[in-house]
Structure 1
Amino acid sequence: MELEDTRCLFCNRNTEDGGHLFIRCKAVKEVWRALGKEGVRMAMQNFDAVGDVMDHLWSLPMEDRVQILYFWWEWWNERNRLRKNEGRTRPEEIVHRARTATTEYWDIVGKQNHSKPKEKTQWRPPEVDVLKFNFDGAFVPGGNQSAWGVIARDHTGDVVACMAGKCEHINDAFAAELQAAAGAMELATHLGAIRICLETDSQLLQSALLPKEPSFSAYASVLDDLKTQMSLWFSKCDVMACRREANAAAHELAKLGYECNVNEPTLWDVNVPPSVAGLIVKFTRVLASFGLDRWVPPLVPPISPMWRTHLAGPISATFMG
């Protein structure tokens, strides 16, 4: 079988790959210059890995980023037209199309995003009589085990309890997040909490756990069970999504969960694990913005004493069957 010619359709010299087509080809350089982004192109041509190129792209201002992405899309269409012998488009026309598409994008989406205040990435305390449970799941693709972690804190930022565990027969990251959510509710029940807030860095899970959100996924029955428990076990149960930075303590606990035996979660009811404590200490700078700067945690924060009496008794080893 004869292989298709792999030479670049524009310069007919070098082998066509992503780096050559979008960054290094003599023809595409003309478009970069017409776009006024030659400096960006020169920086990108020094990278060998696609990930490094995309990291550099994502470090640019949003408007530049969108414009370059539209330009690349137009250039890919131009490449396909050339393959069909439909002739070349002038670089100025490609730039015009990219800039027009960028303007339309901002008219539809950009103004809405810019009108919203910048989302805070720090952890926020709950209301006075509410306990917040941050949870996170960890899953390695290709395996069948997952780990999870949960940390409960009150309105002053005091740690009420931490828990981590490991499970088997988990096939994807969403199932790992579900397991973590079940662990958070189990810990909340054991603490005797009535008004709670569940917080996750999984926007997908947060949406799936909304009371009136129907589920058509493979985990529909598990989601329905969790939502039923949320409505029956607690007088108040909000589910919120946050950035990964705001969920750092739960993420660290999830990593510790891999050290547990399967279905034998570890509960910290006296001191927070040192690796988690360092993340909580950073929270002191955030508390000042909420008028709670009186709280200064020790190096290894203790569990809040007022909740310690609720921790008697075993923690259930199985949350989802």
Structure 2
Amino acid sequence: MVGSLAPKDSTRKPITPRHGSLLREVVELINPLTGFWDDQLVRDTFLEEDANLIPSLPLHGGMSNRAAWHFDAKGAFSVNAYKVFRHDQLRSSRRGGASSSNTDPAHDSLWKKIWETDCAKKSKHILWRLCYNRHPLRVNLKRRGVVLDTRCPICQRFDEDGAHHFLKCKLMENVWCQLGLTRERYILLAQPSARDVIEAVMKMKVELKLKCCFALWLCWADRNRVREGEQCRGPAWIVQGVLVRMAEKDRQKSAVVSVGLSRSHRWEKPAAGHVKVNCDAAFEPGTGIGGWGCVLRDQDGAVVMACRGRIEAFLNPLQGELIACIQGIQAAIEVGVGHVVVESDAVAVVQAVYSSAYDLSAVTDLVAELRSLLSMNFISWVVQQSPRSCNRVAHELASLGSMSDPAMAPVLVPIQAHIMYLIADDSAPSK
């Protein structure tokens, strides 16, 4: 529409008042014989500032009319603006006028499903743009007249369109597999259009739908980093990002449950052939002295090793959590573990391992040591966040460590009765 033609600022609106102009669509300002702007009509319709800007806008033939819902000066998408636009659309269609977008009930139904999804607004924006294939993917940019290499910036093998980037690229193939969504990926690949893909996502169960939404969002974020010249963070970073956000959703749901009810989260045994290492730190802010604790348990929930130790000078809580994880990993190396799952109740530990967020912080040396120990000593490894209720044993060991003699051996033998009770409670079947 003419009212949102000139992109001179965040509003994308010309300064010329509407008054009684009969023009409604941009195509009416284009000379049908030459295919270029009708300069005389533009200058007769708009004020000088707009009239000087409009002819500089590029034109691309063969494109149908469409309405654009642009963000405001703060970068937010106004729901009120969309409602006004849809109301005007529907009113125009009832009068028999032309409509620049789909006015069928399915359009509003899909938008309602996306808007009601329990995820970040940025994720909803990604879904909406994906629905109409509006992402600036390289194939889309070439279709709009941009001359560029259309190969995927991540795998450098095939043309980067929506199907390749979100579903077929090796990066995302690994992500879907590690998230346990291989079946869902094949379902989405079988859909005939981008809109059908989003419709299929919206029909999934809540947990699967959220995993898909987070995966699509983080995939797009990682792609944009590569486009800006940064290194691809890879499938592990995306998968962990999805799992961290899913855990956060679980915590939000459990927050509304009464304290007297049974725990909504329980410690889970690792898969066969794996050892789970739970780590935690505890310290007194007034003294700066604290302790670390870790417990190694096998697929049966049996204790392989329990350790604790004292930390004489705490820099910050993250430092203690990283020290606890390093001690736990070193204990796993000592007993010859091949496949390890490291759990901490600190989200920052997971972010430090899988992202560059703390690479230039005061704990950068600890982060580097943690990554090195993991990559050089295990066949497979994963670091994940767990709720505090799943990390009670490590927390008690850390409390013991803060009161222990620095000269004592870190391995705890025998294990105190109250800690054995917590271990047994973790392994007990859910009631």
Query: TM-score w.r.t. structure 1 length?
Result: 0.51
Q: 2:303 aligns with which of 154, 159, 181?
A: 159
Is 2:288 the partner of 1:144?
A: yes
Equivalent residue, structure 2, for 1:115? 206
2:329 equivalent among 175, 185, 200: 185
Give runs of aligned pairs for residues 271-310 of structure 1, distance below 5 A.
271-286=414-429
Superposition map of 1:9-24 within 5 A = none
What secondary structure, in the 3-state scheme, does the structure 1 residue paired with 2:428 have? Answer: helix
The CA RMSD measured in Å over matched residues stands at 2.7
Tell me how far apart the structure 1 counterparts of residues 399 and 336 of structure 2 sit (CA, whole Å).
26
Match in the other structure for 1:251? 395
Show the counterpart of 2:365.
Answer: 221
Q: Distance in 2 between matches of 1:122 and 1:217?
A: 33
| Contact 2:323 2:366 (8 Å CA) reproduced | no
Structure with higher RCO (Cα < 8 A, 6+ apart): 1
Shift of 1:272: 2.6
2-side partners of 1:218 and 1:212: how far apart? 13
The 1-side partners of 2:377 and 2:428 are apart by 34
Q: Aligned with 2:354: secondary structure?
A: coil
Cα 1:285–1:252 shift into 2, 3 Å: same
Q: String of CA shifts for 1:10-33, please: whole Å, max 9, x gaps.
A: xxxxxxxxxxxxxxxxxxxxxxxx
Match of 2:69 in 1: none
Contact 2:272 2:299 in 1 (8 A): yes
- Report the counterpart of residue 11 of structure 1 in structure 2: none
Is the contact made by 1:260 and 1:266 (CA closer than 8 Å) also made in structure 2?
A: no
Equivalence map 1:52-131=2 (5 Å): 111-112=118-119, 115-116=206-207, 118=250, 121-131=265-275
Question: 2-side partners of 1:243 and 1:263: how far apart?
Answer: 32
Q: 2:15 aligns to what?
A: none
1:258-283 CA distance string (max 9 Å, x none)? 221226443135x4321211111212
Q: Deviations over 1:220-261 (max 9, x none)?
A: 122012101110011112101000000001001111112212
Percent identity of equivalent pairs: 24
Q: Show structure 1 runs of 5+ residues with no match.
A: 1-105, 290-321
1:126 and 1:172 map into 2 onto residues whose CA distance is 30
Aligned to 1:134: 278
CA distance in 2, matches of 1:268, 1:222: 24
CA distance in structure 2 between the partners assigned to 1:182 and 1:134 by the alignment: 11
Q: How far apart are the structure 2 equivalents of 1:263 and 1:195?
A: 31
Paired with 2:271 and 2:359, the residues of 1 have a C-alpha distance of 29
Structure 1 or 2, whichever has the larger Rg, is 2
Question: How much has 1:111 moved relative to structure 2?
Answer: 2.0
SS in 2 for 1:163: strand
8 Å contact from structure 2 (residues 280, 292) kept in 1:
yes
Query: Cα distance, 1:140 vs. partner?
Result: 1.5
What is the CA distance between 1:206 and its match in structure 2? 1.4
Match of 1:209, SS state, is: helix
**Kindly tell me: are residues 170 and 239 of structure 1, through their superposed partners in 2, closer, same or farther at Cα, counting changes over 3 Å?**
same
1:229 maps to amino acid: L
In structure 2, give the amino acid aligned to 1:250: A
Between 206-215 and 179-188, report the one with greater CA deviation: 206-215
More strand by share: 1
AA aligned opposite 1:149: G
Distance across 2 between alignment mates of 1:221 and 1:109: 43
After TM superposition, the structure 1 = structure 2 runs for residues 43-54 of structure 1, keeping only pairs within 5 Å, are none
1:109 is displaced (CA, Å) by: 8.1
The verdict on how the C-alpha distance between 1:134 and 1:223 changes in structure 2, with shifts beyond 3 A counting, is same
TM norm structure 2? 0.39
Query: What amino acid is the match of 1:174?
Result: L
Aligned to 2:406: 262
